[in-house]
Amino acid sequence: MAQSFNIAKVVRIAGREFASTALTKGFIIGALVVPAVLVMLIPLILVLAASAKPPAVSGRILVIDRSGQVFDTLAERLSEESIRERRERMAERAAEFAQDAFGSLGSQVAGGTEAAMDAIQIPKLTLESLGADADVEVAKKLIRDQISGDGPIDPADRVLAVLEIDEDVVVIHEGDEEFGAWQPFFRPKLNNEAVGEIENAVEWAVREQRYADADLDRDRIRAIDRVTQREAQEVTEQGEQKDTSGLTSMVVPVVAMVLILVATFTGGQYLLTTTIEEKSSRVVEVLLSAVSPMELMTGKIFGQMFVGLSLLVIYNGIGIFALIAFSITGVVSLSLVVYFFVYFVLAYIMFASMMAAIGSAVNDLREAQSLMTPVMLFSMVPYFFFMPVIRAPNSTLSTVMSFIPPISPFIMIMRIATPETVPGWQIALSILVNLIAVWFLLWFAAKVFRVGLLMYGKPPNFRTLIRWVRMA
């Protein structure tokens, strides 16, 4: 049957579809306000995460120092002032690093880091030496008794750890090749910060004593140890710039793929919902008196495509703004942006066709779930394969997957975004294969759409859908 195709009506349908989806409070909040608020909240989240850490630990640490050389240095190292001083120095260094790396934006990050450091409280530890000949079992029994004992114990009295340090930990016995060791026995469920602090302090103290015993200058050894690297540079035609290989080979491909996926499924999901809504509110036959099913479906698909596109334009805009803010250039080329939109349109139309077919076939969203499962599986494939594809963009696996619609657009955009060159014929072929798939899926969807819209009652399965295609 010959079908008229009135472009003005299609545009009209698309316009309503776009307006009723994108110009609503829900969409604007979901698509714009929520991400913006999240970004602004990052420093606050850092602080909150830090302050959510367990309260400062206080208690006793019993040391059996059989060497007799470590305890004093260790006690000094774990004193409250010493710990505070170290923390402050660490915060300063983090702030400097952030400033260097991110410029003006970095100072905000640095502010967050400092606030986070302030929020962590300093543990109060009392060190007690049990002498060189103490029995470790007796000391351990103290912890055990405290745990099994009734009644509360003053936090300052709690034994947090027993440290047993070998006699030859600083000076090697004659004939031996290695130094002695040390062993901590902790109270159960002691928090990680405290454990880390204690372990680092013992290491520090032992090493200090070894340097002294060997008559070595500690500062000199540290200077020898430190090899400083200046910021990596890429030499390009325009001159030198920051090394962006990490960004181009990992971040950009994944972000491009995820953006296309998000936009495709946002548009697709809305298409499914509005189609079901039109069917269940019975407005669809009223519409069919004015437009043909093909005009209706095309209008709806295009309307939601512009919803997806506006998301992409906004998010890309933010992304490009961020790159400029971090003064990173040359990461995203114009051709990449063009391919990005080409592959989005291809991916979107394929998934939107499936969504339109499903939406027209069912009576409510719940019934759509079972038909949606295979579609959702397709959408997960790019996530499973992004690692192997990014690592080896021209491997057999990557190449083969580039020609399998409907996942092909997601794979191709990742390959194109990596620094490696994808052969031109592969890009052309993948676009061709996708165009064929687009044509087939639109044809299939149009058939299902025409029949499904007026079918109420029992939800269909795939066999029914294929019967409808034959029928239409």
Cα-to-chain-centroid distance, residue 98: 20
Any residues with CB less than 8 A from the CB of 445 and at least 6 apart, and which? 297, 353, 354, 356, 357
Q: How many helices (H) and strands (E) does the chain have?
A: 18, 6
- Contact pick of 75, 95, 202, 287 for another protein (by CB under 8 A): 287
Beta strands in 145-247 (DSSP E): 159-165, 182-186, 233-236, 239-242
**Footprint (CB under 8 A) of another protein, residues 6-35:** 9, 12-13, 16, 20
Determine what percent of the chain falls in helix, strand and coil, rounding each to the nearest 5. Answer: 70, 5, 25
Q: How far is the C-alpha of 307 from the C-alpha of 361, rounded, in Å?
A: 23
Closer by beta carbon to another protein, 16 or else 242: 16
Closer by beta carbon to another protein, 2 or else 334: 2
Q: How far is the C-alpha of 300 from the C-alpha of 7, rounded, in Å?
A: 13
Q: How far is the C-alpha of 305 from the C-alpha of 341, rounded, in Å?
A: 11
Closer by beta carbon to another protein, 3 or else 395: 3
Closer by beta carbon to another protein, 63 or else 291: 291
- Which letter does DSSP use for residue 23 in this model? T
Q: Please, what is the angle between helix 252-280 and helix 7-22, to 10°? A: 100
Closer by beta carbon to another protein, 230 or else 282: 282
Closer by beta carbon to another protein, 26 or else 151: 26
Q: How far is the C-alpha of 246 from the C-alpha of 365, rounded, in Å?
A: 42
Closer by beta carbon to another protein, 431 or else 472: 472
Interaction between residue 1 and another protein (CB under 8 A): yes
- The dihedral region occupied by 120, where left means phi > 0, alpha psi between -120 and 50, and beta the remainder, is beta
Residue 54, both tokens? 């367990």
Residue 117, both tokens? 């450091």
Instruction: Give me the amino acid identity at 155.
Output: P
Closer by beta carbon to another protein, 303 or else 393: 303
Binding characters for another protein, 260-279, by CB under 8 A (x = yes):
-----------------xx-
The residue range among 84-92, 190-198, 206-214, 289-297 that interacts with another protein, by the rule CB under 8 A, is 289-297
Instruction: Work out how close the CB of 470 gets to another protein at its nearest, in angstroms, rounded to a whole number.
Output: 12
- Contact pick of 196, 454, 461, 462 for another protein (by CB under 8 A): 454
Instruction: Work out how close the CB of 371 gets to another protein at its nearest, in angstroms, rounded to a whole number.
Output: 21
The residue range among 3-11, 57-65, 163-171, 222-230 that interacts with another protein, by the rule CB under 8 A, is 3-11
- Contact pick of 37, 101, 132, 283 for another protein (by CB under 8 A): 283
Interaction between residue 281 and another protein (CB under 8 A): yes
Closer by beta carbon to another protein, 16 or else 87: 16
Residue 296, both tokens? 């209706």
Instruction: Work out how close the CB of 24 gets to another protein at its nearest, in angstroms, rounded to a whole number.
Output: 9
Instruction: Work out how close the CB of 280 gets to another protein at its nearest, in angstroms, rounded to a whole number.
Output: 8
Interaction between residue 4 and another protein (CB under 8 A): yes
- Phi and psi dihedrals of 159, rounded to 5? -85, 115
Instruction: Give me the amino acid identity at 219.
Output: D
Interaction between residue 360 and another protein (CB under 8 A): no
- For residue 228, what are the CA distances in angstroms to 91, 94, 117, 221, 225? 20, 17, 26, 15, 10
Instruction: Work out how close the CB of 444 gets to another protein at its nearest, in angstroms, rounded to a whole number.
Output: 19
Residues that bind another protein (CB under 8 A): 1-4, 9, 12-13, 16, 20, 277-278, 281-292, 454, 456
